[in-house]
Amino acid sequence: MQYIRSVFIASCATAFLSCGVSFAQMRSAADIWPDPRPESDGAKRRYPGANEERDPDFDGAVPIQRPGIPETVTVQELSHHVPRKAEKEFEKAWKAEDKGDHEEAILRFQKAIAIDPEFRAALNDLGSVYLEVERDDLAIQEFTRAIEVDPHSPRPCSNLALAYLRTGRYGDSERMARRAIDLDSVNLHGRLVLGMALILEGRYTQETEMRLQEAAMDFPCANLWLALVWAARGDVKAAKRQVGVFLTSGEKDGMDMATTLLHHLDQLEQDRR
């Protein structure tokens, strides 16, 4: 039974990771949270400035349930001036990404970086688009460059951890996720990725549970990973309750995975009788 449960957990974790949801942190769609500043001609769509970080989200794949706490501004961000030409390419990249044109977005991000090689936000967001189109090796390259440009920014660190996770480098993923948490004790994205890495390493510890519980405040999908923790410990009922928490969150993405997980949990429960 323990062997069957272990195989089940491993297969579910791998399926969750490859289900097409990147979980990457990049600049979220500008219309997710309204611009609090008054607009004389109504609610205009606004693209952020080059140094203005957005909340963790990627293409609506992991909708934010509440506004995230802004990332700490680094010395590099304060001291580095992004040329206006690079900002314009960055904005065009986002317009293309909003339309689902990943190749155009990649081209525009690349142009922005060519103008300003130290444009950390563009490096990070280019890496995130690469993750979306499953070019993981290129994503690793861009996140690594972003970290070289700004070693104190947690965002590319947690994204690099995610890219490592998707390429099976679980130890490297854990290391980078811990670095992201050290750099930003508030942001929950690093906690999500760390919890995922620990599960894929087969470590269903109290730390794994705690990190995923923290991440669930912004990422409902963390509840599905928590369900795997409970299943690994042999508590199928608790695992099913955790899936129920996800189902009541209103999150649409991941619903198929939740249904499949419930089905397998029911089978595990029947096998124990």
Diameter over CA atoms, the chain: 66
Could you tell me which CATH number the domain at 1-21+188-273 has? 1.25.40
Domain edges within the chain? 1-21+188-273, 47-186
pLDDT tens, residue by residue, 170-181:
999 999 999 999
**Confidence label for 199 from pLDDT (cuts 50, 70 and 90):** very high
Do 150 and 77 form a contact (C-beta atoms < 8 A)? yes
**Confidence label for 62 from pLDDT (cuts 50, 70 and 90):** very low
For the record, the structure tokens of 98 come out as: 């909003």
pLDDT over 50 at 210, yes or no: yes
What angle is formed at CA 89 by the lines to CA 93 and CA 68, rounded to 5 degrees?
A: 55
Instruction: Please tell me what DSSP assigns to residue 184.
Output: -
pLDDT over 50 at 67, yes or no: no
Could you tell me which CATH number the domain at 47-186 has? 1.25.40.10
* Average pLDDT score over residue span 65-78: 58
Instruction: Please tell me what DSSP assigns to residue 117.
Output: T
CA 198 to chain centre: 16
pLDDT over 60 at 22, yes or no: no
- d(C-alpha 193, C-alpha 216), whole Å: 12
CA trace torsion 234, 236, 266, 20 (10° rounding)? -90
Please check whether the two domains, 1-21+188-273 and 47-186, share a CATH topology. Answer: yes
- d(C-alpha 1, C-alpha 271), whole Å: 8
